[in-house]
Amino acid sequence: MKTKLLMLTLAMSCTFAGSAMASTRAEYQAEKDRVSSDYKVAKDKCGALKANAKDVCMSEAKGTEKVAKAQAEAAYKPTPRNTEKVAMAKADSVYSTAKEKCDDLAGNAKDVCVKDAKVVYTKAKDDAKISKVSMDTDKSKTDKMADVKKDANSDENKAMYKAAAERCDALAGAPKDTCVNDAKVKYGMK
């Protein structure tokens, strides 16, 4: 599970690099049409599935569509904000699908799965914000970057603490208390 999350984190930290030349309006419209067509095909394939497998399939199809639309927009209008939107669409897609996959689990295992997915999502969101600020040409970029990195670190520590604390719920008594205290120390929670 941790290996999968690590791979997911690596995939999420890769953001879309806008091309030097923006696509034309006709290319943009053609890409949007292709994305809609691809979504309909993917959605139809999900129709044959049952229960949570269908939910996972639909989440993947919707996520792929959302990412492709964001990429088309970023290619048509290459701006730092649109590049951030691509990274956020990827983060949303992976998080949504991961949560659906967690529905196959029960109890504490499900709770831990959801918290682990949230850690990956938080990291991806923060990476997108940092990437956007790093592309900024504003003179106060250094100050903004420091603030964004500080906020990102705080958000990530909170998410990692919540995931660690959820793992502690599988324990009882003194071991649970020790586990929670260790997590608080490790992630700087008070």
Residue found under tokens 């030097």: 20
pLDDT of the residue at 22:
77
Assess contact for 129 and 137: CB atoms under 8 A.
no
Helices and strands: H and E segment counts in the chain:
7, 0
Residue 58's H or E segment, with its range, is helix 51-76
pLDDT of the residue at 8:
45
Residue 140 identity: S
- pLDDT, one tens digit per residue, over 5-64 is 444 444 444 433 334 467 899 999 999 999 999 999 999 999 999 999 999 999 999 999
Q: What residues contact 70, with CB distance under 8 A and at least 6 apart?
A: 16, 82, 85, 86, 88, 89
- pLDDT, one tens digit per residue, over 57-99 is 999 999 999 999 999 999 999 988 999 999 999 999 999 999 9
Nearest one of 64, 61, 63, 65 to 45, comparing CA atoms: 61
pLDDT of the residue at 153:
86
pLDDT of the residue at 90:
94
List the structure tokens of 171: 């324990």
- pLDDT, one tens digit per residue, over 111-136 is 999 999 999 999 999 988 888 887 77
Residue found under tokens 């949560």: 99
Assess contact for 43 and 95: CB atoms under 8 A.
no
Residue 103: which pLDDT band, with cuts at 50, 70 and 90?
very high
Residue found under tokens 């999420």: 12
pLDDT of the residue at 89:
95
- pLDDT, one tens digit per residue, over 146-173 is 888 888 888 898 999 999 999 999 899 9
Q: What is the dihedral of CA 100, 102, 104, 108, to 10 degrees?
A: -150
pLDDT of the residue at 142:
73
Distance of alpha carbon 15 from alpha carbon 164, whole angstroms: 27
User: In 3-state terms, what secondary structure has residue 6?
Assistant: helix
Q: What residues contact 47, with CB distance under 8 A and at least 6 apart?
A: 54
